[in-house]
Amino acid sequence: MKVEVAVVGAGPSGLSCAAALVRLGRKVAVLEAAEATGGTLRAAPGYLAPAAEGRTRLQTLQAAAGPAALLTGHPAGSLSGGPGAFRLEAGNRRLTAGAVVLASGVRRRLSPADHGLEPAYNLLGLSDMARLLADPQASLGRLRGRRVAFFLDVSAPDSLRQQAAAMHLGIAVRRQLAAEVLWFGRDLKVAGDGLEARYREARDLGVTFFRDAGRPPMLTATAGGYRVWAWPEEGGEPVEVAIDLAVLDEREEPCLPQWDLGPRRENSRLGHRSPRPGIFVTGSLRADLDLEGCLVDGVAAAAVADAFLRGLDGLVRAEVDAPRCARCLTCVRLCPHRAMAIAWYREADRAAAKVDKAACRGCGVCVAACPALAITLTTCPDEDIYRQLESGGRTT
């Protein structure tokens, strides 16, 4: 199958990206490892937003992304080629795509040990709680009027998404089960879409918030639940409460394919770009975004990918003088954008380093590093630099 853009992941950001690309008239395929689209919105309703709102959002997104080829059950496999002509394997399918948008999100994993606990039936992760609350078969009745406590900032310190989830779920627990709800964490996060209002709603519903003063709460298992000690004041006496169910924050790992995406480091300049031209990143894989943020981010990535495809011809930047190349691989190793590879030059009848014109961004790192002086940067050749040296530099 040949598409203009392959979107990896059909969660909220992937779907919103695919929908926007379709609206822009692009041919799009969405690769999704799971058997259905929706990501967290489907798998854990009530996690990213109150359940009813999440369902409406999901329906809207699925409808809007409908015209894209939705390949569910097709995890993204290996990638080759370059911008304009990436080749992707996904399950039993092979795709070529001009650009790729990674929207594969994060994987969440409950880790009771982080909280000093053993796994137990009355110990849930935030996403389990979301699933249970949404499941009509789940018998949560026995929690009616009991005490449920949320523990944040332990497995995933400083996660806006998880704090937002705890807020939505705490309110749902309070409303649906009339259970008493407690919140333990270090810094309460309210910097999300409508989150401050949700926090006030929770407080008005009687949810109790314990912010710890540097020392996280301690839990021990009792016959039917847990005993919690928390230190809301520095050096003060602990508060002690008995709870029936503990809901814990979860570890988060990015779901990245096994591709070489270039040097992996945080970078403020890249935005939706990965170090490899033509591969873009969006959604919770890129930043700690709430649902609103993911919806915006997906559409933004669509705009960036669309503009990239329009400008693909680009200008020629680095050029290798094939006969001079010593095939030392220095440039291949150093190019931050993975634009260099060894290839066959028919004219010179030999293999040498070759620049992928659509991937080269003209930084000149390879030029300065080539021991054979085989590379020229057309946009800033050596002669220019030396001329500037002779003429006393540029003054503007």
- Contact residues toward ligand SF4 (CB under 6 A) are 191, 268, 317-318, 320, 325-331, 335, 337, 339-340, 353, 355, 360-366, 370, 372, 374-375, 377
Site string for another protein, 103-132 (x = CB under 8 A): ------------------------------
* Cα–Cα dist 161/252, whole Å: 11
- Helix/strand/coil (H/E/C) assignment for every residue in 256-295: CCCCCCCCCCCCCCCCCECCCCCEEECHHHCCCCCHHHHH
Taking CB under 8 A as the criterion, which residues in 367-396 touch another protein? 367-369, 377, 379-380, 382, 385-386, 388-390, 392-396
Can you tell me which of 27, 211, 215, 251 binds another protein, judged by CB under 8 A? 211
CB of 368 to ligand SF4, least distance (A): 9
Looking at the Cβ atoms of 145 and 263, the one nearer to ligand SF4 is: 263
Binding at 272: pick from another protein, ligand SF4, none (beta carbon under 5-8 Å per type): another protein
Q: Is 312 in the site for another protein (CB under 8 A)?
A: no
Between residue 4 and residue 23, which ones bind another protein under the rule CB under 8 A?
Answer: 20, 23
- Residues pairing with 375 in the sheet: 320
Contacts of 145 (CB under 8 A, 6+ apart): 177, 178, 179, 180
293 in contact with another protein (CB under 8 A): yes
Q: Which of 188, 239, 312, 341 binds another protein (CB under 8 A)?
A: 188
The smaller minimum CB distance to another protein, of residues 117 and 296, is found at 296
Choose from another protein, ligand SF4, none: what does 200 bind? Cβ within 5-8 Å by kind. Answer: another protein
- Residues 27-56 binding another protein (CB under 8 A) are 56
Dihedral pair phi/psi, residue 81, rounded to 5°: 80, -165
**Which parts of 139-168 interact with another protein (CB under 8 A)?**
158-160, 163
Site string for another protein, 243-272 (x = CB under 8 A): -------------------xx-xxxxxxxx
Select from ligand SF4, another protein, none the partner in contact with residue 258, using the beta carbon and a kind-dependent cut-off of 5 to 8 Å.
none
Count CA atoms closer than 13 A to 3's CA, side-chain side: 30
Question: What whole-number distance in Å separates Cα of residue 326 and Cα of residue 169?
Answer: 61
Cβ at position 385, least distance to ligand SF4 in Å: 14
310 binds, among ligand SF4, another protein, none (CB under 5 to 8 A by kind): another protein
Choice from 118, 137, 236, 237 touching another protein (CB under 8 A)? 236
Which residue among 168, 337, 354, 357 contacts another protein (CB under 8 A)?
337
Identity at 348, one-letter amino acid code: A
CB 247 within 8 A of CB 166: yes
- Give the list of residues 6+ apart from residue 328 with CB closer than 8 angstroms, or none: 371, 372
Closer residue to another protein (CB): 113 or 385: 385
- Nearer to another protein by C-beta: 117 or 380? 380
Instruction: Please state, in angstroms and rounded to a whole number, the distance separating the CA atoms of residues 12 and 18.
Output: 10
Residue 123, SS3 per DSSP: strand
List the one residue from 108, 288, 354, 375 that touches another protein (CB under 8 A).
288
Could you write out the DSSP letters of every residue in 195-223? HHHHHHHHHHTT-EEEE-SSS--EEEE-S
User: What tokens does 215 get?
Assistant: 């020392």
Instruction: Report the partner that residue 85 touches, choosing among ligand SF4, another protein, none (CB closer than 5 to 8 A by kind).
Output: none
Contact between residue 149 and residue 247 where contact means Cβ atoms under 8 Å apart: yes
Total Cβ atoms within 10 A of residue 69: 16
Beta carbons of 12 and 291 less than 8 angstroms apart: yes
Q: What angle do CA 219, 223, 228 make, to 5 degrees?
A: 20
Nearer to another protein, 81 or 263 (CB): 263
